Chain A
């Protein structure tokens, strides 16, 4: 839209506005969320101040933010890839659970491999699991015309039940953790072999003078950043990325240009599922080392917010993931210090999504008004 007026001042201002609209949206969302804080008798400024101070006050807290951001980068990329092609992958939630399930199975069941084979194999299993779980909804969409939103939601519930069944049944660790009266307290898979575990970043970062505590960030953070670079490369440097974006803009026009839309949509959705399958692996292979029924949830839904705030771009997604990592960490802080429910985090998340999409409409209107003005007086 603003490509038509590349040199005008208004266009420059517009581009700047567009770039910073996510920041604006986050601020507006925080202002709106203040209402809830005021209702329960808290001073929003104090609460947000605590949030900030708690989250950034200490090195281990910053490490925790990056740890929380890691799965969100994968989930955000998965959603963004879908958005770019015009699909709404709300099934990241189920896809990463299945991914975690597959990776865990490879991690404890396959024995005798060296780490440089076992670990990549577990990661690949995660991606394959995610892609597999994305196969059904996209097949149903293309072959039977079923909207992907309802099928993926249904499959999210199904995935959770399926994982629950396996973890509490066939895959349960029967070897230990007996509580009083012989009741098994540990509803989880056997521990993953050390060869399938992702090493900590503690050592490597220590060498360059960053003192993150052990057991916080692991190498999945680096993989996540590489995945973000991969997203950028795929979208802007490969023919497939061009096709993907073309289909996302207008499938019919892309078809006229000789692109087989359905094939592109199919492959993109599987790719989205495969990346989604990686989202839970930082927690599984880098932290817990087993899969239990309390495995972290909601990465998929936060991923939607991440993709929207990050405007489906690689840099944006990384920044947005850090933002949500900060909000989540800060949420813990305000719960401990200010006794404000940490669920403020989810209120903020919902509001940020709304504000960000509303902000882009406001900018669109502003741009149109500017355009009209310029058309009216060409010398401006």
Chain B
């Protein structure tokens, strides 16, 4: 069952989950729940492919990130400035994303659910290591974004724990009033957190369309944004944990794509990632430790 090919597929599938989950950490650590990740991924996937058609793969990835960041800006504006319920706002983002993407797809390509084919980024084959038989499928012709995803993990850990920005971001999510008294710009930090998460969700969407499939197809995110959110929770709001959870869910995804069985109908195999997400959360949620002030709107200059 566990072949090098399956492992390679698991890693490819874990990439969007890891990127989005790591992005979610920035938002959640700043105290904003981001349930709109799915929508930001959808927009990123479409914008990535559309950008890829006109600007080539690098341009496409960049456009995807910008589109994700823009959706995040809306979420940030509504939930920081207007203090609306963050889950309601995130849901609105998801519906909006669906509409905006279909609208754009029809307007630009005259097709509601797909874009034309796009080229991918130049693939990388890791020298020497790819010669080892077991690692060959994992390290040959790999998307550069795979490395980006795995580099994002230590980078985020470093930012969160070792930089002034990270410390401020976390303080805003734990105890915003204290942070403000110490001169931290609470709103600015929250904006930064949400927008980074949107840009990364956009990147992850663009990975799906530009790198993984070679085009945008409606429904290609398949709830990955929510699974990424679950991975972040399972990873206890830490990049390393999110990565491990992302690999687990990626493995389940790969299994659901590759496992072919006479005995089990494919619809049931396709359920594996969703059911696994529920089971994992059910076993874990009691032990998880979210940031203290996550989801609580912060009112500037008021002590209540």
Contact, CB under 8 Å: A154 / B277: yes
Give CA–CA (A308, B35) in the complex, Å.
17
B91 neighbours in A (Cβ, 8 Å) = 90, 301, 304, 353
Chain A: minimal CB distance from B217 (Å) = 16
- In the complex, what distance in Å separates the CA atom of A68 from the CA atom of B293? 41
Q: Select B88's contact among A40, A153, A353, beta carbons within 8 Å.
A: A353
Interchain CA distance A88-B83 in the complex, whole Å? 17
Interface pair B277/A346, CB less than 8 Å apart:
no
- Interface residues in A288-344 by Cβ distance below 8 A to B read 301, 304-305, 308, 341, 343-344
Of the candidates B98, B267, B277, B278, which one forms a contact with A165 in the assembled complex, judged by CB atoms under 8 Å apart? B267
In the complex, chain A residues whose CB is within 8 Å of the CB of B94: 301, 350
- Minimum C-beta distance from A36 to chain B (A): 6
With contacts A154-B278, A343-B112 known, is A354 near B87, CB below 8 A?
no
Asked if A346 meets B223 with Cβ closer than 8 Å, knowing A140-B278, A150-B229, A169-B265, the reply is no
Cβ–Cβ contact B226 & A344, under 8 A: no
B78, CB-defined interface residue at 8 Å:
yes
* Closest A residue by C-beta to B274: A154
Chain A residue contacts of B83, Cβ below 8 A: 361
The reply to whether A341 and B106 contact each other, CB–CB distance below 8 Å, is yes
Give Cα distance in the complex from A36 to B277, angstroms: 36
Closest residue on chain B to residue A169 by CB atoms: B265
Shortest beta-carbon distance from B261 to chain A in Å: 13
Assess whether B226 is in contact with A153, with CB atoms less than 8 Å apart: yes
Q: Name the prevailing secondary structure of the A interface residues.
A: helix
Query: Do A343 and B88 form a contact, CB below 8 Å, given A146-B281, A162-B267, A351-B96?
Result: no
B92 touches A353 (CB 8 A): yes
- Of the listed residues A305, A349, A354, the one surrounded by the most CB atoms of chain B closer than 10 A to its CB is A354
Q: Which of B86-112 contact A (CB under 8 A)?
A: 87-89, 91-100, 102-103, 106-107, 112
CA distance A165 to B267 in the complex (A): 6
Q: CA–CA, A144 to B275, complex, Å?
A: 15
The answer, yes or no, to whether A5 is at the interface (CB within 8 Å) is: no
A207 smallest CB distance to B (angstroms): 40
With both beta carbons as reference points, the residue of chain B lying nearest to A39 in the complex is identified as B107
Q: Which residues of B contact A165 (CB under 8 A)?
A: 265, 267-268
A344 CA / B103 CA spacing, docked (Å): 7
Asked whether any CB of chain A lies closer than 8 Å to the CB of B74, the reply is yes
Given contacts A153-B226, A341-B112, contact A354 B92 (CB under 8 A): yes
Q: Which residues of A contact B274 (CB under 8 A)?
A: 154-155, 157-158
Inter-chain contacts of A36 with B (CB < 8 A)? 100, 103
B: number of interface residues (CB 8 Å) = 46
Cα-based distance from A136 to B233 in the complex (angstroms): 19
Of residues 328 through 380 on chain A, the ones whose CB sits less than 8 Å from some CB of chain B are 341, 343-351, 353-354, 357-358, 360-362
Residue pair B223, A344 in contact (C-beta under 8 Å): no
Q: Distance in Å from the Cβ of A365 to the closest Cβ of chain B?
A: 9
In the assembled complex, A164 has its CB within 8 A of some CB on chain B: yes
What residues of chain A lie closer than 8 Å to B74, measured between beta carbons? 354
In the assembled complex, the Cα of A228 lies from the Cα of B158 at a distance in Å of 54
Nearest chain A CB to B227 CB, angstrom units: 8
Q: Are A150 and B106 closer than 8 Å at their CB atoms? A: no
In the complex formed, the residue of A with least CB distance to B84 is: A357
B271 contacts A by Cβ under 8 Å = yes
Taking the closest CB of chain B, its distance from the CB of A316, in whole angstroms, is 16
Name B25-84 residues within 8 Å CB distance of A: 35, 74, 78, 82-84
Q: Give the complex CA separation of A157 and B219 in angstroms.
A: 11
* CB of A204 closer than 8 Å to a CB of B: no
Residue of A140, A144, A153 ringed by the most chain B CB atoms within 10 A: A153
Given contacts A150-B281, A349-B99, is CB(A358)–CB(B78) below 8 Å?
yes
Separation of A92 and B168 alpha carbons in the complex (Å): 39
A346→B99 CA distance, assembly (Å):
4
Residues of A in contact, count (CB < 8 Å): 45
B164 to chain A, nearest CB (A): 31
Q: Which of A155, A308, A357 has most chain B Cβ within 10 Å?
A: A357
A147 at the interface (CB under 8 A from B): yes
A144–B285 contact, CB under 8 A? yes
| B182 part of interface (Cβ distance < 8 Å) | no
CB-CB < 8 A to A17: which residues of B? none
Residues in B neighbouring A304, C-beta threshold 8 A = 88, 91
Is B103 in contact with A343, judged by CB distance below 8 angstroms? yes
Is the pair B96, A341 in contact by a Cβ cutoff of 8 Å? no
Q: Which residues of A contact B102 (CB under 8 A)?
A: 341, 343, 346
Q: Once bound together, how far apart are the Cα atoms of A196 and B275, in whole Å? A: 33
Q: Determine which residue in A150, A169, A305, A345 has the highest number of CB atoms from chain B within 10 A of its CB, and name it.
A: A150
B222 interface residue per 8 A CB criterion: yes
B162 proximity list for chain A (CB < 8 A): none
Q: Smallest Cβ distance from B17 to chain A, in angstroms?
A: 14
Distance between A298 CB and nearest chain B CB, rounded to angstroms:
9
Query: By the criterion CB–CB under 8 Å, are B285 and A147 in contact?
Result: yes
* Contact across chains for B226 and A150 when beta carbons are under 8 A apart: yes
Check A161–B99 contact: CB distance below 8 A.
no
Q: Is A23 an interface residue (CB 8 A)?
A: no
Interchain CB contact under 8 A, A162 and B96:
no
CB contact list, B256-291 vs A, under 8 A:
265, 267-268, 270-271, 274-275, 277-278, 281-283, 285-286
Chain A interfacial positions (CB closer than 8 Å to B): 36, 39-40, 88, 90, 136, 140, 144-147, 149-151, 153-155, 157-158, 161-162, 164-165, 169, 301, 304-305, 308, 341, 343-351, 353-354, 357-358, 360-362
Contacts A161-B270, A343-B99, A347-B99 supplied; 12 other A-B pairs, CB < 8 Å: A40-B107, A136-B278, A140-B282, A154-B223, A162-B267, A343-B112, A346-B96, A346-B99, A347-B96, A347-B103, A357-B84, A360-B84
11 A/B residue pairs, CB under 8 Å, sorted by A: A88-B88, A136-B278, A140-B281, A150-B230, A150-B233, A157-B222, A162-B267, A165-B265, A346-B98, A350-B92, A353-B91
| 9 nearest CB pairs, A to B | A346-B99, A350-B96, A165-B267, A343-B102, A353-B92, A347-B99, A357-B84, A341-B106, A350-B95
